[in-house]
Amino acid sequence: MCEPDFVRADGVFSGGGIKGLAFAGGLQAAAEAGYDEWVKLAGTSAGAITAMALAVGYSAQGLREQLDDFDFAKIADYGPLGELEIPANLLHHGATKGKALHAWIEKLLADAPQPARTFGDLEADKLRVVGADLAHSRMVVFPGDVELYIDEHGKQLAPDDFPIADAVRISAGYPYFFPPLSLIDGHTKKPGVLVDGGVTSAFPVFLFDKPQPEHPTWGFRLFGGKTPEQPSYTAIDGPLWPIDMLKAIVDTSMNALDKLEMVAFAPRTISIPTGDVPTLDFELSAAQKKELYDSGYDTAKAFFDRKPDGRNTFGATPAA
């Protein structure tokens, strides 16, 4: 196998809920192409979990093992009464409690090859996590935007002290399903409503762009369906159509494959089809998990086999 020109790269990962299992396959193909050192990492939603895992030392194989070993059905922590408890949880703006997801993220960090708790435990600018503050109508990129918020004593929050797990939990907090987290805005003094970053930027591949890149940024992008011409389908009908439509709005914001976006980002984007797997289906069969992994692997292998040059939004390619 020929070695690529660059073995160091930045990595950016899109949202996609449970479909993020496909990232493990994509990363395995990237490793086989020689990309085994990720300099800077960023992600939204499921992509934030993937970026976080790489930032604390998990390899492609290590990530796959973590995903295979975890029972994702536990994430849907409706409560002791199961789905009958949904109305009570909705008073807290989520169908589930969200605690199981938070606990799993914390465990990934604690059990990592390079354990970390706060952003200050990582190399400087190693990881960026995208969230959305609905109350203040803005995208929030952790850890830098932590400075927009204050603690209960009115003191500005410090990015280095902010827990990685909180940022990733916010980014993966699919609205209506997981309750939002809250931070007090330093200007309005009102609580923010912090949710899934896919609401504002599902694929922030531009985050590391600069006029003279030292290495490429590879973006891993999930989209529903088999191909752009064969999309997945969501029924929006019946007496619960408002709920169907709300879910579809969020799902589309995270999974739509924007043709204009892909023209701009195609030279460094691995666009992974995820078929008809629902974003919030946490009880995937072994066959569905394999399908997602294989799709990620096959798509990324074909991408790197084409010897992409990694041209960024400045029209610049990394110097050899």
Q: How do 184-185 and 149-150 pair as beta strands?
A: antiparallel
Of residues 74 and 157, more confidence is placed in 157
Q: Please check whether residue 271 is in contact with residue 22, taking contact to mean a CB–CB distance below 8 angstroms.
A: no
Residue range 2-61, pLDDT digits in tens:
444 458 999 999 987 788 899 999 999 999 999 989 999 999 988 999 999 999 999 999
Nearest C-alpha neighbor of 274 from the set 253, 252, 289, 258: 289
pLDDT given at position 2: 45
83 has pLDDT over 50: no
Give the DSSP letter of residue 176: B
Of residues 39 and 204, more confidence is placed in 39
pLDDT given at position 195: 92
Nearest C-alpha neighbor of 130 from the set 264, 288, 253, 275: 253
**Residues in contact with 58: Cβ distance below 8 Å, sequence separation at least 6, in sequence order:** 66, 108, 112, 113
Of residues 78 and 154, more confidence is placed in 154
Q: What is the mean pLDDT of residues 207-223?
A: 91
User: What is the greatest pairwise CA distance in the chain?
Assistant: 59
Nearest C-alpha neighbor of 46 from the set 226, 278, 312: 278
Give the DSSP letter of residue 50: H
pTM score over 0.85:
yes
Cis-peptide into 143, omega within 30 deg:
yes
